[in-house]
Structure 1
Amino acid sequence: MKTSWRSASFVVGAAAMLALTTACGQESGTSSVGSQNVGATAPAGGYGSVGAGTSASASPGGNGYGADGQQAAGGQSTSAGKLAVTDNAELGKVLTDGAGLTLYRYDEDTAEPPKSNCDGDCAKAWPPVPADDASAGAGIDKSLLGEVTRADGTKQLTIGGWPAYRYAKDTKAGDVTGQGVGGKWFALAPTGKKASLASLPGLSVRKDPKLGEIVVDKNGMTVYRFIKDVAWPKVISNCTGACLEKWPAVAPVSPNDTKGIEKKGLMGFTRPDGVKQMTVDCWPAYTFSGDTAPGDTNGQGVGGTWYVMAPSGKPIGAPKK
């Protein structure tokens, strides 16, 4: 089936779309949970638990947040101070606090009206920035600074309506290790938007020094393929439940919103769990919660089943059958 589809010629227009739809299928099934391979120690929940990876406990030169999310003795002040704008080679202009620590925003929050949805363990990993003494430095519109009352009654700084956080694993000024964590945390630009050096298409290609041309999403995060998935005769994702928390599905994008990606089998499908997911050459596409910044490829080869996706949809470095 796979060989005949690949060798078939496509006609322009509706007939081509029909052929593509028939080849990939519009619905997917799931195999048993036993077929999954989460293969990751990255945190679930999308906020980068302080218990995962490196410890967030205070250390010399650290940011002063201990494992309990509180300021450690001798650590830096939790106050915001005068905010500043710094230039980052990967992200462009990034907002920092008075100590030079990067400020972040969370996709699960809202800006209109401002509301923080990061509490408990989340707030330990991502300490909210207090609003009381924050002021605007050069290049920052002071009218964008505001505050929101958190569930515990404290006032949190907002930028353009978005609640601001630090990341407990940023240990020195200029660190941006929180960028892209869980696909939900992003460095703040001075406008309150996500920091971005350039606007990327929904899917595009970047040159990795070790892996060659690889697929990245709109945030520059590496895209992966799970070799236990199925593309023929219909799309089947065998990554569900806890696996999908570690390996979030790439949301569908228009083929016109891609650059450098082969158009064959480039479409979205709806999973049995209701999540909509993008495919390349009919193979489901994922990001990895263990990648914390654009350019990271920490998911490569995990469990012997997860591999970076090539522009053709092939898994780079996967063993040949």
Structure 2
Amino acid sequence: MKTSWRSASLAAGAVAVLALTTACGQDNGGGTPVSQNVGATAPAGGGYSGLGNPGYGTGAKEENSATRTATAGELTVADNPELGEVLTDSAGFTLYRFDKDTAEPPKSACDGDCAKAWPPVPADDATAGAGIDDSQLGEVTRADGSKQLTIGGWPAYRYAKDTKAGDVNGQGVGGTWYALAPDGKKAKLSSLPGLSVRHDTNLGDIIVDKNGMTVYRFLKDEAWPKPVSACTGACLAKWPAVAPVEANDTKGVKKKGLMSFTRPDGVKQQTVNCWPIYTFSGDKAPGDINGQGVGGTWYAVTPEGKPVGAPKQ
């Protein structure tokens, strides 16, 4: 939706202002109270949560050394209820890919501490099991000279925080790590529209994006007379702006005030009821609500665009 503030006549300007007032700015920032603010924290120095080493996660434990060194063996295809078909090693551990890598040509961008949290899968004895095309398997030589398994050209990793077969704790970490599908693509169900509504047992009906990730609002933003985001720089790295979504690519979301705008940095961002919306890099998998209540300024969004559980202002 575009509104001109340079109208040739005062009457046309008044109509434009009236139209925008009708579409935007009717929410006073208050939300529907809930019994608890799940995951609420109050980090010092700002309204967003700092995450150490963004992009690959931290906290790999030495007891997971077997995960870091084990060969892949015969690869298998597991059926995950949220992600569909997921590629695993012979022990059932999920294999992942990293968005900062490249597949053509294969190249790994994960070394040092990153490789401790995300152990590269050795190419030594990897073979294709049922449902996997052997031609998808390959290898890449890492900086240390070791051979790493590739799937569809993408270097394959395990996640040190997956402690048992079937775990998918690495899914979506940092917005750059995803479980591998058998063809090397990201494993995810593709049935969700750009924005839709999911019922959360703690928060009620909330908006999720096309990947099923929770959508949030920042109380320091503005919606009237036009959308303004107060989340920039390091904040935006932690709370990525949701890209524009066509109105017909939504389900259950209020259409009024459903628009996009261009941020000062040139990035286009989606709004609901004219309020800018974001995802949270600390949410690792669909259904996570780790951003809820962070700093007392970040809240999940109702289908009407209100912040769930936010204090009335």
Q: Give the TM-score normalised by structure 2.
A: 0.82
Q: Does 1:88 align with 2:80?
A: yes
Deviations 1:19-56 (A, max 9, x none): 5699669xxxxxxxx99411x253453222x2xxxx32
- The equivalent position to 2:296 in structure 1, one of 301, 304, 317, is 304
Matched residue SS, 1:165: coil
Who is 2:54 aligned against? 45
CA contact (8 A) 2:20 2:225 kept: no
1:311 deviates by 1.4
Who is 2:5 aligned against? none
1:208 deviates by 0.9
> Residues of 2 paired with 1:278 and 1:133: CA distance?
46
Q: Does 1:217 align with 2:221?
A: no
> Residues of 1 paired with 2:248 and 2:308: CA distance?
24
Deviations 1:169-218 (A, max 9, x none): 11111110011111221111112122123432121111111211111111
Between the aligned residues of both structures, percent identity stands at 74
Deviations 1:235-277 (A, max 9, x none): 2111112211221211222222222211222222222223322
- The equivalent position to 1:250 in structure 2, one of 242, 245, 270, is 242
Matched residue SS, 2:62: coil
Deviations 1:69-89 (A, max 9, x none): xx5xxxxx4311111111212
Equivalence map 1:142-153=2 (5 Å) = 142-153=134-145
Q: Does 1:204 align with 2:196?
A: yes
Q: Does 1:274 align with 2:266?
A: yes
> Residues of 1 paired with 2:242 and 2:217: CA distance?
11
- The equivalent position to 1:157 in structure 2, one of 149, 155, 159, is 149
Q: Give unpaired runs (5+ residues) of structure 2.
A: 1-14, 26-43
Task: Name the CA shift for 1:251/1:118 in 2 (closer, same or farther; >3 Å).
Answer: farther
Deviations 1:123-146 (A, max 9, x none): 222122122221111111111111
- The equivalent position to 2:256 in structure 1, one of 264, 267, 289, is 264
> Residues of 2 paired with 1:188 and 1:129: CA distance?
12
Matched residue SS, 2:114: helix
Greater Cα shift, 288-297 or 275-284: 275-284
Matched residue SS, 1:64: helix
Task: Name the CA shift for 1:202/1:21 in 2 (closer, same or farther; >3 Å).
Answer: farther
Say which structure, 1 or 2, has more relative contact order (CA 8 Å, 6+ apart): 2
- The equivalent position to 1:171 in structure 2, one of 158, 163, 166, is 163
Who is 2:60 aligned against? 56
Who is 1:124 aligned against? 116
1:101 deviates by 0.9
CA contact (8 A) 1:87 1:93 kept: yes
Who is 1:294 aligned against? 286
> Residues of 2 paired with 1:42 and 1:240: CA distance?
16
Who is 1:8 aligned against? none
Q: Give the TM-score normalised by structure 1.
A: 0.80
> Residues of 1 paired with 2:141 and 2:253: CA distance?
44
Task: Name the CA shift for 1:235/1:78 in 2 (closer, same or farther; >3 Å).
Answer: same
Which amino acid is the alignment partner of residue 144 of structure 1?
Answer: Q
> Residues of 2 paired with 1:199 and 1:240: CA distance?
31
> Residues of 1 paired with 2:20 and 2:141: CA distance?
50
CA contact (8 A) 2:21 2:225 kept: no
Count residues with an aligned counterpart: 280
> Residues of 2 paired with 1:110 and 1:45: CA distance?
19
> Residues of 1 paired with 2:23 and 2:198: CA distance?
28
Matched residue SS, 2:269: strand
Task: Name the CA shift for 1:119/1:319 in 2 (closer, same or farther; >3 Å).
Answer: same
Q: Does 1:101 align with 2:111?
A: no
Which amino acid is the alignment partner of residue 57 of structure 1?
Answer: K
> Residues of 2 paired with 1:319 and 1:254: CA distance?
31
